Structure 1
Amino acid sequence: MKSPAHRTRDIERHAGYLKPEHCAPPPPRTGSDTMWFIRDSCGIVCGIITWLLVFYAEFVVVFVMLLPAKNVAYSLINGVLFNGLAFLALASHAKAMCTDPGAVPKGNATKEFIESLQLKPGQVVYKCPKCCSIKPDRAHHCSVCKRCIKKMDHHCPWVNNCVGENNQKYFVLFTMYIALISFHALLMVAFHFVFCFEEDWTKCSNFSPPATVILLILLCFEGLLFLIFTAVMFGTQVHSICTDETVSDGGIVSAVSLLSDFHFRNLPAC
């Protein structure tokens, strides 16, 4: 039984293994290609839900808790802080969604491109058969984006995009701001419940007591859920940045990627 090294050398002897003649040259970029947006119905729905949840939190914080409050300074400070963080969160979300995460040019596995790499004898390169691209190190193919993404971490439906080399910073900021506004909202809900228990419920909100309680409980559930989720994601991303790794480089995803890369691994003719 041959070792992996023997199999690699056997592949190397086949000069046409990459089959560059099967790849058409990449199409020229047009003005419409400058805008990156994934047309995935699930991702679009998740992105819209993300914005709606932030707007719901804005509604409850402003109209249920801050405007009825008697302390103007308390309402002003918390309103500016919460709305500022919410604006930054949505701006980061939009940037993470509409930024090219580092897509490898589609169909660049042509004979001319391979020759331009000036590869040394025996040097290994990777070709993705799905998008016909020469894959750089740590690039992985995304079945949703239908492209190979440089330093792909994962595909996040909540931002309707892959998290990769070019937009990871926006994703990190998005998770941080969402975690902060979730924690801030939970603190304000706690203070508001204390205030309402000490005062008449009709004076602590412009809505009826049952409606106020339901709105606050829903906000509390939303804030707790997103605080846990985004805090974990933020910590994972920071750890990945500090160790210069991605989720796709380790764990279960790495095992799946290695199995797929075993079929993508090719050696060019020298």
Structure 2
Amino acid sequence: MASLRCRRDPCGVICLILTYFSVFYADYVVIQYVLIPAYSDSVWCTLHGSVFNLILLLLLACHSKAVFSDPGMVPLPETAIDFSDLRSQSSRMNERGCEGWTVCSRCETYRPPRAHHCRVCQRCIRRMDHHCPWINNCVGELNQKYFIQFLFYTGMASLYSLVLVVSAWVWRIRSEREGDAEKEAEESPSKHLIV
């Protein structure tokens, strides 16, 4: 089982902190300024709050898996590769059925097809897509699924919070028309723009 690890890249650590801060801030704003004022007297507050927090929980779980899982690092060789006889080594590799393998001069290792060297991680990554500062890790063969799920749940949380804000505005307009404006006089639609 792979051990949990995290890069010490300053930009990546700052992006990780910003990611968690923005998720918790969005949760606070949606609960405090959208759900409670709009649905405090009904079961809808609990229902929408539970669904929104479930989406955020899944978002954070997928984000954590993408951060701490191995993206598919190519193992470093036990001994240094002799680059002086590169042609004969390539022919030996092709005889073994490793067609398309190349040598990374930075890692000094053989890398499979579609593997690329990441200058931030200082390693070759199988099926590397990119190095993402928001997960402080490369997106590669082994963690791409978690990264895509993280993006999906981020989109779901954004869309759901937008729907909640619009429904709160509709509720406010209906309340004002029915003469309930004094109950929510301190609430302003500008607070919902914080979301």
Give the TM interval when normalised to the shorter protein.
0.7 to 0.9
Q: Equivalent residue for 1:189?
A: 165
How far apart are 1:67 and its partner, in Å? 2.2
Pick the aligned partner of 1:86 from 51, 56, 61: 56
The 5 A counterparts of 1:87-236 are 87-107=57-77, 110=80, 119-120=93-94, 125-199=101-175, 200=180, 203-204=183-184, 208-209=186-187, 212-219=188-195
Which has a greater percent of helix? Answer: 1
Q: What SS class does the counterpart of residue 47 from structure 2 fall into? A: helix
Q: What SS class does the counterpart of residue 67 from structure 1 fall into? A: helix
Structure 1 segments (4+ residues) deviating >6 Å? none
Percentage of pairs with the same residue: 38
Distance 1:52 1:118, change over 3 A: same
Are the equivalent residues in 2 in contact too, given 1:138–1:150 (CA < 8 A)? yes
Distance 1:201 1:86, change over 3 A: farther
Pick the aligned partner of 2:6 from 25, 32, 37: 37
Distance 1:120 1:197, change over 3 A: closer
Distance 1:46 1:180, change over 3 A: same
How far apart are 1:168 and its partner, in Å? 0.6
Q: Deviations over 1:171-205 (max 9, x none)?
A: 01101111111100000000111222333556348
How far apart are 1:157 and its partner, in Å? 0.9
When the two chains are superposed, the root-mean-square deviation of aligned CA atoms in Å is 2.8
The 5 A counterparts of 1:258-269 are none
The 2-side partners of 1:89 and 1:143 are apart by 27
The 1-side partners of 2:103 and 2:141 are apart by 19
How far apart are 1:107 and its partner, in Å? 4.2
Q: TM-score, normalised by structure 2?
A: 0.82
How far apart are 1:124 and its partner, in Å? 5.7
The 2-side partners of 1:111 and 1:142 are apart by 19
Q: Deviations over 1:235-265 (max 9, x none)?
A: xxxxxxxxxxxxxxxxxxxxxxxxxxxxxxx
Q: Equivalent residue for 2:18?
A: 49
Name the count of aligned residue pairs: 182
How far apart are 1:213 and its partner, in Å? 3.4
Is there any run of 5+ residues in structure 2 with no aligned partner, and where?
none
